């Protein structure tokens, strides 16, 4: 089934749907991946089925791109969209996400986060790293993007993961004196590529990224980027973090560019 092993198939369902597909309840008609998937789709509610099918369709597209082969199923996209429309009442949730509603902003929380960010800049490097860790955790929590696991500080590098819609993102955040170059970007992207095929990444660099580094990094990667100016501008203009990330993801899909500034994505 596509390129799934038993392990990656289970990881896919855990990550995307918080479902243990290895549970014996899904093996009523047999233990193969295809039979467990069919039973899951037959017994879950329509909204969950749509989420599962959209995630699988995206993974299928990435698999076909990697393999370089022609689509073996005739009219696959038309048949897929018809099924999604039938289950979702005519409007695909994936398409609906293209025009997200404005999320409510907790101004008291945003004010505190802005204060925290300003305080981070005045600290010594070691203390600054831990304070930046706390700042990011508070930022993600304030906009409903709580980490799937606690953010962890290693030196001046913060690792973590979070959920944006139905997608899983790994986070890498650094507070360095110099802008991030191509080596750090490639290292993070390699980390993404070693995970499941549907994993994406967000690289937050307070000091920004070098133009040469971004150019050498190239386009069409599974990483989007934010810098310190993005953080300040987002908080100052009270733009919800989830909207910023969704806009960055969409523009990255349209242009292939991993880094577009908030001021360009949300012109005044």
Q: Domains of the chain, with CATH numbers?
A: 6-96 (no CATH), 107-265 (3.40.1350.10)
Q: How far apart are CA 113 and CA 142, in angstroms?
A: 9
Cα 31 to Cα 14, 23, 34, 44: the distances in Å are: 17, 10, 8, 18
Percentage of the chain surpassing pLDDT 90?
Answer: 22
Beta bridge partners of 149: 161
**Does residue 43 or residue 88 have the better pLDDT?**
43
Residue 70 φ/ψ, nearest 5 degrees: -75, 155
Q: In this structure, are residues 198 and 16 in contact, taking their beta carbons and an 8 Å threshold?
A: yes
What's the pTM value of the predicted model, to 2 decimals?
Answer: 0.61
Q: What tokens were used for 69?
A: 């082969």
- At residue 181, the pLDDT reads 94
Q: What is the pLDDT of residue 191?
A: 86
More confident residue, 18 or 35: 35
Tell me the pLDDT of the chain averaged across its residues.
Answer: 80
Residue 227 φ/ψ, nearest 5 degrees? -120, 180
Q: What is the pLDDT of residues 195-227, one digit of tens each?
A: 877 788 999 998 999 999 999 998 888 899 999
Lookup: tokens for 241: 């973090």
Instruction: With beta carbons less than 8 A apart as the criterion, state whether 233 and 216 touch.
Output: no
Give residue-wise pLDDT tens across range 143-199: 888 666 556 656 555 678 888 877 788 888 888 778 999 999 999 998 888 887 778
Read off φ and ψ for residue 101, nearest 5 degrees.
-75, 150
């Amino acid at each position: 089934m596509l390129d799934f092993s038993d392990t990656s198939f289970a990881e896919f369902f855990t990550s995307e749907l918080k479902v243990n597909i290895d549970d014996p309840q899904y093996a009523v008609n047999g233990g193969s991946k295809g039979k467990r998937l069919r039973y899951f789709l037959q017994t879950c509610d329509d909204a969950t089925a749509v989420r599962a099918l959209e995630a699988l369709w995206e993974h299928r597209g990435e698999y076909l791109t990697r393999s370089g082969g022609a689509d073996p199923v005739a009219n696959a996209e038309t048949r897929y969209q018809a099924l999604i429309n039938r289950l979702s009442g005519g409007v695909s949730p994936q398409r609906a996400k293209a025009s997200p509603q404005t999320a409510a902003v907790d101004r008291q929380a945003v004010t505190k986060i802005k204060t925290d960010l300003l305080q981070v800049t005045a600290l010594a490097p070691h203390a600054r790293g831990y304070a930046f860790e706390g700042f990011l955790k508070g930022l993600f929590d304030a906009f409903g993007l709580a980490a799937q696991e606690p953010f962890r500080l290693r030196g001046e590098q913060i690792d973590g993961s979070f959920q944006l819609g139905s997608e899983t993102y790994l986070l890498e955040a650094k507070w360095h004196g110099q802008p991030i170059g191509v080596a750090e970007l490639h290292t993070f992207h390699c980390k993404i590529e070693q995970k499941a095929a549907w994993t994406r990444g967000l690289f937050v660099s307070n000091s920004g990224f070098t133009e040469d580094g971004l150019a050498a990094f190239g386009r069409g990667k599974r990483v989007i980027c934010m810098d310190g100016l993005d953080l300040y501008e987002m908080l100052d203009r009270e733009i919800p973090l989830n909207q910023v990330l969704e806009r960055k993801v969409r523009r990255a899909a349209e242009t292939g560019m991993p880094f577009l500034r908030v001021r360009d994505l949300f012109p005044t």
